[in-house]
Amino acid sequence: MKPSTAKPLPARAHKSLSYIRRYWTLYLLLVLPIAYFIIFKYIPMTYIQIAFKKYSIVQSPWEMPWADNHGFEYFIKAFSNRDFRLALRNTLMLNFLDLLVGFPAPIILALILNELPYPKFKRLTQTVAYMPHFLSWIIISGMALQLLAPTSGLINIVLNRLGFKTIPFLNDPAHWVWTYVFLGVWQSCGWNTIVYLAAITAINPELYEAAEIDGAGRFRKIWHVTLPGLRPTIITLLILSLGRILGSEFDRPYALSNNLVKDVSSVISTYVYAHGIKGLQFSLTTAVGIFQSVVNVIFLFAANALAKKFGERGIW
Protein backbone atom coordinates (compact mmCIF):
# COMPACT_ATOMS: atom_id res chain seq x y z
CA MET A 1 0.00 0.00 0.00
CA LYS A 2 1.48 3.35 -1.09
CA PRO A 3 1.71 6.10 1.48
CA SER A 4 -0.59 9.10 1.00
CA THR A 5 0.96 11.93 -1.01
CA ALA A 6 -1.55 14.55 0.16
CA LYS A 7 0.17 17.40 1.94
CA PRO A 8 -1.25 18.46 5.31
CA LEU A 9 -2.74 21.92 5.52
CA PRO A 10 -0.39 24.55 6.93
CA ALA A 11 -1.05 25.36 10.57
CA ARG A 12 -2.20 28.91 9.76
CA ALA A 13 -4.70 27.73 7.10
CA HIS A 14 -6.03 25.02 9.44
CA LYS A 15 -6.46 27.61 12.19
CA SER A 16 -8.30 29.96 9.82
CA LEU A 17 -10.68 27.22 8.66
CA SER A 18 -11.47 26.18 12.22
CA TYR A 19 -12.07 29.82 13.12
CA ILE A 20 -14.50 30.20 10.19
CA ARG A 21 -16.34 26.99 11.18
CA ARG A 22 -16.62 28.24 14.73
CA TYR A 23 -17.95 31.69 13.84
CA TRP A 24 -19.76 30.84 10.60
CA THR A 25 -22.87 32.80 11.65
CA LEU A 26 -20.84 36.02 11.86
CA TYR A 27 -19.35 35.39 8.43
CA LEU A 28 -22.85 34.72 7.11
CA LEU A 29 -23.82 38.24 8.17
CA LEU A 30 -21.09 39.57 5.88
CA VAL A 31 -22.65 38.01 2.78
CA LEU A 32 -25.16 40.81 2.12
CA PRO A 33 -22.73 43.72 2.68
CA ILE A 34 -20.10 42.05 0.49
CA ALA A 35 -22.72 41.35 -2.21
CA TYR A 36 -23.85 44.98 -2.00
CA PHE A 37 -20.33 46.32 -2.58
CA ILE A 38 -19.63 43.86 -5.39
CA ILE A 39 -22.92 44.48 -7.24
CA PHE A 40 -23.34 48.21 -6.69
CA LYS A 41 -19.74 49.43 -6.25
CA TYR A 42 -17.28 47.18 -8.06
CA ILE A 43 -19.23 45.84 -11.06
CA PRO A 44 -20.31 49.38 -12.14
CA MET A 45 -16.60 50.28 -12.30
CA THR A 46 -16.47 48.45 -15.62
CA TYR A 47 -18.44 51.39 -17.05
CA ILE A 48 -15.67 53.85 -16.18
CA GLN A 49 -14.32 53.15 -19.65
CA ILE A 50 -17.24 54.98 -21.29
CA ALA A 51 -15.44 58.21 -20.35
CA PHE A 52 -12.93 57.28 -23.06
CA LYS A 53 -15.46 55.97 -25.59
CA LYS A 54 -18.41 57.18 -27.63
CA TYR A 55 -21.38 56.02 -25.62
CA SER A 56 -24.06 53.97 -27.30
CA ILE A 57 -27.04 52.54 -25.46
CA VAL A 58 -27.16 49.51 -27.79
CA GLN A 59 -23.53 48.47 -27.24
CA SER A 60 -21.61 47.11 -24.28
CA PRO A 61 -18.69 49.21 -23.00
CA TRP A 62 -16.24 46.85 -24.70
CA GLU A 63 -17.96 47.27 -28.09
CA MET A 64 -18.16 51.07 -28.04
CA PRO A 65 -15.69 52.90 -30.32
CA TRP A 66 -12.91 54.92 -28.75
CA ALA A 67 -13.41 58.67 -28.52
CA ASP A 68 -11.24 61.09 -30.49
CA ASN A 69 -7.95 62.53 -29.21
CA HIS A 70 -6.76 59.09 -28.04
CA GLY A 71 -9.87 58.67 -25.90
CA PHE A 72 -9.61 62.04 -24.13
CA GLU A 73 -12.22 63.85 -26.25
CA TYR A 74 -14.72 64.22 -23.41
CA PHE A 75 -12.12 65.41 -20.90
CA ILE A 76 -11.09 68.14 -23.35
CA LYS A 77 -14.75 68.92 -24.03
CA ALA A 78 -15.47 69.26 -20.31
CA PHE A 79 -12.60 71.66 -19.63
CA SER A 80 -13.47 73.76 -22.65
CA ASN A 81 -17.07 74.05 -21.42
CA ARG A 82 -17.82 77.28 -19.53
CA ASP A 83 -20.54 75.62 -17.43
CA PHE A 84 -18.11 72.98 -16.17
CA ARG A 85 -15.42 75.52 -15.30
CA LEU A 86 -18.04 77.52 -13.41
CA ALA A 87 -19.23 74.39 -11.58
CA LEU A 88 -15.62 73.48 -10.74
CA ARG A 89 -14.93 76.94 -9.32
CA ASN A 90 -18.13 76.94 -7.27
CA THR A 91 -17.50 73.43 -5.94
CA LEU A 92 -14.04 74.39 -4.71
CA MET A 93 -15.28 77.68 -3.25
CA LEU A 94 -18.27 76.21 -1.39
CA ASN A 95 -16.32 73.20 -0.11
CA PHE A 96 -13.50 75.44 1.11
CA LEU A 97 -15.98 77.65 2.99
CA ASP A 98 -17.72 74.55 4.36
CA LEU A 99 -14.34 73.35 5.63
CA LEU A 100 -13.36 76.76 7.00
CA VAL A 101 -16.61 77.30 8.92
CA GLY A 102 -18.09 73.83 9.24
CA PHE A 103 -15.03 71.86 10.37
CA PRO A 104 -14.25 73.74 13.62
CA ALA A 105 -17.95 74.22 14.50
CA PRO A 106 -18.61 70.69 15.87
CA ILE A 107 -15.30 70.79 17.77
CA ILE A 108 -16.34 74.01 19.52
CA LEU A 109 -19.85 72.66 20.20
CA ALA A 110 -18.42 69.40 21.60
CA LEU A 111 -16.16 71.38 23.96
CA ILE A 112 -19.14 73.46 25.11
CA LEU A 113 -21.34 70.38 25.63
CA ASN A 114 -18.57 68.68 27.58
CA GLU A 115 -18.39 71.63 29.96
CA LEU A 116 -22.13 71.81 30.68
CA PRO A 117 -22.58 71.03 34.40
CA TYR A 118 -26.19 69.82 34.34
CA PRO A 119 -26.64 66.34 32.73
CA LYS A 120 -30.34 66.82 31.90
CA PHE A 121 -29.73 70.15 30.20
CA LYS A 122 -26.74 68.64 28.39
CA ARG A 123 -28.85 65.76 27.03
CA LEU A 124 -31.59 68.17 25.96
CA THR A 125 -29.05 70.38 24.16
CA GLN A 126 -27.53 67.37 22.41
CA THR A 127 -30.95 66.17 21.25
CA VAL A 128 -31.85 69.60 19.87
CA ALA A 129 -28.46 69.82 18.13
CA TYR A 130 -28.84 66.34 16.55
CA MET A 131 -32.36 66.90 15.17
CA PRO A 132 -31.46 68.94 12.03
CA HIS A 133 -29.38 66.00 10.78
CA PHE A 134 -32.59 64.02 10.24
CA LEU A 135 -34.24 66.71 8.10
CA SER A 136 -33.96 66.41 4.33
CA TRP A 137 -32.68 69.39 2.37
CA ILE A 138 -36.10 69.79 0.77
CA ILE A 139 -37.57 70.43 4.22
CA ILE A 140 -34.67 72.71 5.19
CA SER A 141 -35.00 74.70 1.96
CA GLY A 142 -38.72 75.18 2.70
CA MET A 143 -37.89 76.40 6.20
CA ALA A 144 -35.22 78.72 4.77
CA LEU A 145 -37.74 80.16 2.33
CA GLN A 146 -40.23 80.85 5.13
CA LEU A 147 -37.56 82.55 7.24
CA LEU A 148 -35.27 84.23 4.68
CA ALA A 149 -37.42 85.14 1.66
CA PRO A 150 -36.98 88.82 0.66
CA THR A 151 -40.60 89.92 1.10
CA SER A 152 -42.41 87.13 2.95
CA GLY A 153 -39.59 85.76 5.11
CA LEU A 154 -40.05 86.16 8.85
CA ILE A 155 -36.56 87.58 9.44
CA ASN A 156 -36.91 90.27 6.76
CA ILE A 157 -40.40 91.18 7.99
CA VAL A 158 -38.97 91.75 11.49
CA LEU A 159 -36.03 93.73 10.06
CA ASN A 160 -38.39 95.94 8.06
CA ARG A 161 -40.56 96.57 11.13
CA LEU A 162 -37.44 97.64 13.02
CA GLY A 163 -36.50 100.05 10.23
CA PHE A 164 -33.69 98.02 8.66
CA LYS A 165 -33.27 97.18 4.98
CA THR A 166 -34.24 93.84 3.50
CA ILE A 167 -31.35 91.35 3.32
CA PRO A 168 -31.45 89.25 0.11
CA PHE A 169 -30.34 85.99 1.74
CA LEU A 170 -31.53 83.81 -1.14
CA ASN A 171 -31.47 86.19 -4.12
CA ASP A 172 -28.05 87.85 -3.99
CA PRO A 173 -25.04 85.63 -4.90
CA ALA A 174 -22.79 86.89 -2.08
CA HIS A 175 -25.51 86.51 0.56
CA TRP A 176 -26.59 83.14 -0.88
CA VAL A 177 -23.08 81.66 -0.49
CA TRP A 178 -22.97 82.41 3.23
CA THR A 179 -26.58 81.30 3.68
CA TYR A 180 -25.66 78.01 1.99
CA VAL A 181 -22.64 77.53 4.26
CA PHE A 182 -24.37 78.39 7.54
CA LEU A 183 -27.40 76.22 6.74
CA GLY A 184 -24.96 73.36 6.13
CA VAL A 185 -23.28 74.00 9.48
CA TRP A 186 -26.65 74.12 11.25
CA GLN A 187 -27.72 70.83 9.66
CA SER A 188 -24.53 68.86 10.35
CA CYS A 189 -22.82 70.47 13.33
CA GLY A 190 -24.72 68.68 16.10
CA TRP A 191 -24.43 65.25 14.52
CA ASN A 192 -20.70 65.66 13.91
CA THR A 193 -20.08 66.33 17.60
CA ILE A 194 -20.74 62.64 18.35
CA VAL A 195 -17.23 61.63 17.24
CA TYR A 196 -15.58 64.38 19.26
CA LEU A 197 -17.64 63.70 22.40
CA ALA A 198 -16.69 60.02 22.15
CA ALA A 199 -13.01 61.01 21.84
CA ILE A 200 -13.32 63.30 24.88
CA THR A 201 -14.68 60.45 27.02
CA ALA A 202 -11.55 58.44 26.14
CA ILE A 203 -9.24 61.07 27.65
CA ASN A 204 -7.73 59.94 30.95
CA PRO A 205 -9.58 61.75 33.82
CA GLU A 206 -6.33 61.79 35.83
CA LEU A 207 -4.97 64.37 33.38
CA TYR A 208 -7.76 66.76 34.37
CA GLU A 209 -7.10 66.08 38.06
CA ALA A 210 -3.39 66.76 37.62
CA ALA A 211 -4.12 69.98 35.73
CA GLU A 212 -6.52 71.09 38.46
CA ILE A 213 -3.90 70.42 41.14
CA ASP A 214 -1.48 72.58 39.16
CA GLY A 215 -4.01 75.41 39.30
CA ALA A 216 -5.40 75.16 35.77
CA GLY A 217 -8.82 76.69 35.25
CA ARG A 218 -11.51 75.52 32.86
CA PHE A 219 -10.03 77.13 29.75
CA ARG A 220 -6.50 75.96 30.60
CA LYS A 221 -7.76 72.38 30.94
CA ILE A 222 -9.50 72.64 27.57
CA TRP A 223 -6.34 74.02 25.93
CA HIS A 224 -3.77 71.74 27.55
CA VAL A 225 -5.76 68.51 28.09
CA THR A 226 -8.91 68.27 25.98
CA LEU A 227 -7.62 69.66 22.69
CA PRO A 228 -4.38 67.59 22.73
CA GLY A 229 -6.55 64.53 23.45
CA LEU A 230 -8.75 65.40 20.48
CA ARG A 231 -5.82 66.04 18.13
CA PRO A 232 -5.65 62.52 16.57
CA THR A 233 -9.41 62.60 15.87
CA ILE A 234 -9.21 66.14 14.47
CA ILE A 235 -6.30 65.22 12.18
CA THR A 236 -8.05 62.08 10.90
CA LEU A 237 -11.31 63.89 10.13
CA LEU A 238 -9.44 66.82 8.56
CA ILE A 239 -7.59 64.45 6.21
CA LEU A 240 -10.87 62.78 5.23
CA SER A 241 -12.50 66.19 4.70
CA LEU A 242 -9.66 67.29 2.42
CA GLY A 243 -10.20 64.07 0.48
CA ARG A 244 -13.68 65.37 -0.36
CA ILE A 245 -12.60 68.88 -1.35
CA LEU A 246 -13.84 68.38 -4.92
CA GLY A 247 -16.80 66.25 -3.93
CA SER A 248 -20.19 67.87 -4.08
CA GLU A 249 -23.46 66.79 -2.56
CA PHE A 250 -26.49 67.15 -4.78
CA ASP A 251 -29.41 67.81 -2.42
CA ARG A 252 -28.22 71.02 -0.77
CA PRO A 253 -27.24 73.11 -3.84
CA TYR A 254 -30.17 71.77 -5.86
CA ALA A 255 -32.75 72.53 -3.15
CA LEU A 256 -31.39 75.99 -2.25
CA SER A 257 -30.60 77.17 -5.79
CA ASN A 258 -32.67 79.52 -7.94
CA ASN A 259 -32.19 81.34 -11.23
CA LEU A 260 -30.85 84.49 -9.56
CA VAL A 261 -27.85 82.72 -8.01
CA LYS A 262 -26.94 80.20 -10.73
CA ASP A 263 -23.46 81.68 -11.08
CA VAL A 264 -22.56 80.56 -7.54
CA SER A 265 -24.94 77.63 -6.95
CA SER A 266 -23.99 75.49 -9.95
CA VAL A 267 -21.65 72.73 -8.71
CA ILE A 268 -20.27 69.53 -10.24
CA SER A 269 -23.14 67.36 -8.98
CA THR A 270 -25.79 69.63 -10.51
CA TYR A 271 -23.70 69.88 -13.70
CA VAL A 272 -23.62 66.07 -13.94
CA TYR A 273 -27.38 65.93 -13.34
CA ALA A 274 -28.11 68.53 -16.02
CA HIS A 275 -25.78 67.11 -18.67
CA GLY A 276 -25.83 63.43 -17.75
CA ILE A 277 -29.28 62.49 -16.43
CA LYS A 278 -31.23 65.14 -18.36
CA GLY A 279 -28.89 65.70 -21.31
CA LEU A 280 -27.92 62.01 -21.76
CA GLN A 281 -24.24 62.92 -22.22
CA PHE A 282 -23.00 59.91 -20.28
CA SER A 283 -19.44 59.86 -21.63
CA LEU A 284 -18.95 63.53 -20.76
CA THR A 285 -20.28 63.23 -17.21
CA THR A 286 -18.34 60.01 -16.59
CA ALA A 287 -15.18 61.88 -17.58
CA VAL A 288 -16.12 64.62 -15.11
CA GLY A 289 -16.68 62.01 -12.39
CA ILE A 290 -13.27 60.42 -13.02
CA PHE A 291 -11.57 63.82 -12.84
CA GLN A 292 -13.41 64.55 -9.59
CA SER A 293 -12.37 61.21 -8.05
CA VAL A 294 -8.72 61.51 -9.11
CA VAL A 295 -8.40 65.01 -7.61
CA ASN A 296 -10.03 63.86 -4.36
CA VAL A 297 -7.61 60.92 -4.10
CA ILE A 298 -4.64 63.22 -4.74
CA PHE A 299 -5.80 65.59 -1.98
CA LEU A 300 -6.34 62.63 0.37
CA PHE A 301 -2.83 61.25 -0.17
CA ALA A 302 -1.26 64.71 0.01
CA ALA A 303 -3.06 65.56 3.27
CA ASN A 304 -2.08 62.21 4.78
CA ALA A 305 1.58 62.65 3.75
CA LEU A 306 1.60 66.20 5.14
CA ALA A 307 0.18 65.00 8.46
CA LYS A 308 2.89 62.34 8.73
CA LYS A 309 5.57 64.90 7.88
CA PHE A 310 4.50 66.94 10.91
CA GLY A 311 4.66 63.90 13.18
CA GLU A 312 1.00 62.88 13.16
CA ARG A 313 -0.19 59.31 12.58
CA GLY A 314 -2.29 59.92 9.45
CA ILE A 315 -4.99 57.47 8.42
CA TRP A 316 -2.70 54.68 7.19
Residues facing 81 on adjacent strands? none
In a domain, 9, yes or no: no
Give the CATH number of the domain where residue 298 resides: 1.10.3720.10
In a domain, 27, yes or no: no
pLDDT of residue 73: 94
Residues of the chain with pLDDT > 70, as a percent, come to 96
In a domain, 56, yes or no: no
In a domain, 13, yes or no: no
Identify which has the larger pLDDT, 1 or 84.
Answer: 84
pLDDT digits (tens, 9 = 90+) for 209-257: 899 888 888 899 999 999 999 999 999 999 999 999 998 789 999 999 9
Q: How many domains does the chain have?
A: 1
Task: Please say whether the beta carbons of 286 and 50 come within 8 A.
Answer: yes
Question: What type of residue is 51?
Answer: A
When pLDDT is cut at 50, 70 and 90, the band that residue 5 belongs to is low
pLDDT digits (tens, 9 = 90+) for 70-90: 889 999 999 999 999 999 999
In a domain, 273, yes or no: yes
pLDDT of residue 186: 96
Which residue range is the domain that position 187 belongs to? 67-308
In a domain, 200, yes or no: yes
In a domain, 298, yes or no: yes
Helices (DSSP H) in the chain: which residue ranges?
11-22, 24-29, 31-37, 73-79, 82-97, 104-115, 119-130, 137-148, 154-161, 173-201, 205-213, 218-221, 227-242, 251-256, 262-265, 268-272, 282-309
pLDDT of residue 17: 80
Contacts of 294-303 with C-beta under 8 Å, sequence gap 24+, read 295/245, 295/246, 296/243, 296/244, 296/245, 296/246, 296/247, 297/243, 299/242, 299/243, 299/245, 299/246, 300/239, 300/240, 300/242, 300/243, 302/242, 303/238, 303/239, 303/242, 303/243
When pLDDT is cut at 50, 70 and 90, the band that residue 311 belongs to is confident
Residues facing 66 on adjacent strands? 53
pLDDT of residue 7: 52
Residues facing 53 on adjacent strands? 66
Q: What is the mean pLDDT of the chain?
A: 90
pLDDT of residue 10: 65
When pLDDT is cut at 50, 70 and 90, the band that residue 100 belongs to is very high
pLDDT digits (tens, 9 = 90+) for 125-182: 999 999 999 999 999 999 999 999 988 899 999 999 999 999 999 999 999 999 999 9
pLDDT digits (tens, 9 = 90+) for 10-60: 667 777 788 778 888 888 898 999 999 999 989 988 889 999 999 988 888
In a domain, 50, yes or no: no
Residue 8, pLDDT > 70, answer no
